[in-house]
Amino acid sequence: MTKSTYENSRPSIPAELERMVKTSAGHACSVQHCHEHTYLEFHHIDGNRENNTEENIVLLCDKHHKMAHDDVIDRKSLREYKRLLIAHRVATREALRDLLCEIFGVVVGMQIASQARETAHVVLNPATVEELMPFVKAEMLRMNSNNSMCSMGANNRVGNEFEDLKRPYGIGIGFFLSCVGES
Ligand SMILES: [Zn+2]
């Protein structure tokens, strides 16, 4: 078998896994403080291109990718960079879950976070929308406006899930909200 045949026959990284690796890396090189986000490549930490697991695939810039292949950056370091990214993502996901519970109460918040409710129709105060935006940018949350607005308050209920708990006042904006799964 020639090398090129091997290259062609190796299993490609599933698109969903590529997306997960990219988002957990923030679409930037995974080496701490590198910040390169233009020339990015996938690297298999253990050198086995068939081992397509999230832990084994790290997003690197072209320079750091070459350094990894030249063993200037060893596997132990790459695993540590990867561990930091995954830990950060877990912490971010927990922060999102906590915020959803704060907004909607524990029962509904957990349902949205765990995707037991695929899509929640919600009315949110603009300040709450701002609080949720970092999670939208991290591609953990989808939030689409339904182009509706209404005033919120205890005597003006317009839906089942709006901001009774966090900001039940002001003008609310309607959204369809759903969490993005990890796999
Ligand atoms: Zn880099």
- CA of 10 from ligand 1 middle (Å) equals 25
CA of 181 to the centre of ligand 1 (A): 27
Ligand 1 centroid vs 72 CA: distance in angstroms?
A: 13
CB atoms within 10 A of CB 146: 12
Distance 57 CA to ligand 1 centre (A): 15
Ligand 1 centre and the CA of 45: distance in Å?
15
Residue 31 Cα, ligand 1 centroid: separation in angstroms? Answer: 5
Q: Give the span between the Cα atoms of 100 and 130, in whole angstroms.
A: 13
Check residue 130 and give its pLDDT. Answer: 96
Distance from the alpha carbon of residue 26 to the mean position of ligand 1, in angstroms: 13
Average per-residue pLDDT for the chain = 87
pLDDT tens digits, one per residue of 12-68: 899 999 998 998 898 999 999 998 999 999 999 999 999 999 999 999 999 999 999
Pairing of strands 171-179, 120-124: antiparallel
Residue scoring higher pLDDT (152 or 45):
45
How many angstroms from the chain centroid is the CA of residue 81?
A: 17
* Over residues 85-104, mean pLDDT: 93
Whether the per-residue pLDDT at 91 is higher than 50: the answer is yes
Indicate whether 127 pLDDT > 90. Answer: yes
Q: pTM to 2 decimals?
A: 0.75
Residue 42: what pLDDT?
A: 97
Residue 157 confidence (pLDDT): 54
Q: What is the pLDDT of residue 109?
A: 92
State the average pLDDT over residues 65-87: 95
CA 36 to ligand 1 centroid distance, Å: 5
Using CA atoms, how far apart are residues 101 and 166, in angstroms rounded to an integer? 10
Q: What is the mean pLDDT of residues 109-125?
A: 91
Residue 162 pLDDT more than 80?
A: no
